[in-house]
Structure 1
Amino acid sequence: MRKPMKFHVINTGGTLGMVGKPLVPAASAEELLEGIKVPKGVKLNLQDMDEKQDSTNVWNADRLVMGQMIEAAYETHDAFIVLHGTDSLAETCSYLSMLFKLSLQKPVFVIGAQMTKIEAGSDVAMQIENALRVAKSFVKNSIVGVYNVCIGEVLHGARVCKRRDSAFDAFHTPGVHPVAHAFPHIMIKEGVRRKDEVTAVQGLRLDSKFERHVVSLVVSADAPPYVLMDMVKAGRIRGVVLECKGAGNIPDRPWETEGDDAFSWIDAIRAATDAGIHVGIVSPFEDGRVILDRYGLGAKAKAAGALSLESMTPPMADTKFRQAIAMFPKDPARIQRFLSADMLNELLDGFEDESDEDDDEVVKD
């Protein structure tokens, strides 16, 4: 007789377990799983975080606790389901992906819902039941890694982003198709990661160093660069992520402010990097790739010391940048190499061929 699969369910809070008006996290994992149809041959172990949070309030320190809870149950369970709020679910998927990297040789699903369980028409039961169904299939087929299940679509955790506030299909993976579907049968597609026995036998590893003092800013020609310059002068941050235009363009028109010399965003980047603050450039577009050498304004940002966050989604760019800074705090070149390494398919496929305009002229026979 086949042994039952064991799934560890961690309840962190979020809308699916909220009650009251205004809504606040309250329901336990046991209450959330009450009435849920569990697949045959699956046994559940339920665990609540000590303090359940609205996911807007979740810190990376909380995400580390989630990872440690997975680590504690890792050897005795086959899969893990993290019940989570939707607002920062993408950040948690990114964090767990980078926390475990390839050492994670079992499937982890981070799921949320747009309604509470007690509301009529709620999506909670479908989300949890689909996650359990997919988890059983992934264990059976030796599929590992971090994933999100959203209304029957299984999404790669290293690229998942929230795109809608109210619709049930709240999540997608920009530039990447779902890796599986759960309607009505489980259909596994390209993009999943298979278990590697050599890696699996070495056990789970947690790379838990992430720089806390990192901030993100949206840059435009009308956004005052003194916001960054003031942060540099305060000396509290260790990194800043700038959301760019185009393929990495940062405006260079100087701002004049009372009592200060005129300076631009490029000047602010240079001041930051001169002070040992790392500056990463991220694209806001679904198919965005930061190629700082393409346009003059991107080249100026690069010359000022800015680093490319490549084609990562904003949640993954923030997470991976924090880890890179923590690992190599005084080595920008090493940070760039780390950011440019595609570890978990967090980067888009393909590359841009360089222009051949400067190639030597072909000599005719």
Structure 2
Amino acid sequence: MKKILLIATGGTIASKYSSEGLKPGITSEELLAYVPEIREFCMVDTVQPFELDSTNVCQEHWLILERVIEEAYDRYHGFVVCHGTDTMAYTAAALSYLIQNNRKPVVVTGAQKPINLEITDARANLRDSLRFASDDRAYGVNIVFDGKVIAGTRAKKERSKSYNAFSSINYPDIAVIQEHRIIFYIEDHFRLTEPVRFYHRMNRRVLLLKMIPGMDGRVLNMLADEYDAVIIESFGVGGLPTYGQHDFLEAIDNWCSQGKKMIMATQVTHEGSDMAVYQVGKAIKERFPIIEAFDMTLEATVTKVMWLLEQNLSGEEFKKEFYRTINHDVLLVE
């Protein structure tokens, strides 16, 4: 029987109603008590490193989770992280970069309704997550939610209230869970040849900047002193406007001349970027050392840059590592 570590961090799944609104208050042991049937297929220990609404989860908490898993790695067959849904995709992506070549499953899950309600998705999600973490074929970081298994770098929360909150972006679901059956669509654990590696640092000085009509290059100049990298959510397949007295070309030149990283992504959820299509993107890409996110999610792009900035890489090494596929995060590369 598999031995699983349940890591509770708060979130809606562990929340209780109060006069101030929903807030975490259900312990890790109490969560487990709501799914007694899991004793048929796994043994579970619990730990609670913090108890937060996931709105308050950031880099320091990702590193805490990494350390918990690293310290317990040899004692368990798998790990389940109970987490709030709002930043769950960021946490799953971050753990994908902090724990690499991982042959053991790290499952991130949560719920849209607290587990102590009569009608809730929490019990099914927790049960499915523990079942998946106990499966011999499971490995790496994945989100398990509403019967779907999604690669940790491909998940995005697309619905704020519905049970089917998460979708896999530009990549198929890894598997689906139907009652006690797990149906795998992708089985590729055999590709892992290196030993597991844990990383312990992430750079917080990363900005995600969403373009809106009328924005000009002054915004980049104002931010250059505060950030080491900027990821620009551009329009369509990727490009920047050239109107007005303060276009982006001068600002980009200033940013890149300081050795700061600039990554071009897209606001469009599906199908990714391709700056070579239009002049507004191609001209910039040919002139400046800009990296393109292509088919990556914004959550994966942000956390991968945070991880890479701490690896002391040259410009070309940084670009090469950014385009190295980790946990299915990028397929369309130059």
C-alpha separation between the residues in 2 aligned to 1:339 and 1:197?
19
Select which of 291, 296, 305 maps to 2:274. Answer: 291
- Give 2:307's match in structure 1, choosing from 323, 328, 346: 323
1:166-195 deviation per Cα after TM superposition (whole angstroms, max 9, x unaligned): 000000111222211111342333334425
CA distance, structure 2, for counterparts of residue 197 and residue 76 of structure 1:
21
Rounded Cα–Cα distance in structure 2 between residues aligned with 1:41 and 1:290: 43
SS at match of 2:9: strand
Distance in 2, matches of 1:223 and 1:38, equals 53
Matched, 1:311 2:295: yes
- Structure 1 segments, 4+ long, off by >6 Å, are none
Deviations 1:86-118 (A, max 9, x none): 00000011001011121x110110001001122
Note the residue ranges of structure 2 that are not aligned, 5 or more in a row: none
Residues 255-270 of structure 1 aligned to structure 2 (within 5 Å): 262-270=245-253
* Residue 211 (structure 1) shift: 1.6
> Is the alpha carbon distance of 1:220 and 1:181 closer, same or farther for their aligned partners in structure 2, counting shifts above 3 Å?
same
How many residues matched?
Answer: 330
Cα pair 1:105 1:196 within 8 Å, conserved: no
Change (3 A) 1:39 1:68: same
Question: Aligned equivalents of 1:52 and 1:62: distance in 2?
Answer: 10
Please list, as runs of the form range in 1=range in 2, the aligned pairs for 1:117-266 lying within 5 A after superposition: 117-136=115-134, 138-139=135-136, 141=137, 143-194=138-189, 199=194, 202=195, 204-232=196-224, 235-254=225-244, 262-266=245-249
Q: 2:327 — aligned with what?
A: 344
Of stretches 188-197 and 144-153 in structure 1, the one that deviates more from structure 2 is 188-197
Q: Does structure 1 residue 116 correspond to structure 2 residue 114?
A: yes
> Which residue of structure 2 aligns with residue 258 of structure 1?
none
The equivalent of 1:85 in structure 2 is 84
TM-score by length of 1: 0.85
Question: What secondary structure does 1:182 align onto?
Answer: strand
How far did residue 242 of structure 1 move? 0.3
CA distance in 1, matches of 2:117, 2:40: 27
How far the C-alpha of 1:42 sits from its partner, in A, is: 1.2
What CA distance in whole angstroms lies between the structure 2 residues aligned with 1:220 and 1:294?
A: 20
Larger radius of gyration: 1
Taking the aligned partners of 1:333 and 1:287, their CA distance within structure 2 comes to 28
Please tell me whether the aligned partners of residues 90 and 157 of structure 1 are also in contact (alpha carbons under 8 angstroms).
yes
**Mapped partners of 2:276, 2:240: distance in 1:** 12
- 1:250-302 per-residue CA deviation (whole Å, 9 max, x = no partner) reads 11212xxxxxxx21123222221122221111123333333333321112332
TM-score by length of 2: 0.92
What amino acid is the match of 2:319? Q
Give the conservation status (yes or no) of the 8 Å contact 1:283–1:311: no
1:18 aligns with 2:15: yes
Counterpart of 1:53, as a letter, is L
Contact kept, 8 Å, 1:290 with 1:309, in 2: the verdict is yes
Give the whole-Å Cα distance in 2 for the aligned partners of 1:39 and 1:78. 15
Greater RCO, 1 or 2 (C-alpha within 8 Å, sep 6+): 2
Q: Distance in 2 between matches of 1:197 and 1:180?
A: 19
Look up the SS of the partner of 2:139 in the other structure. strand
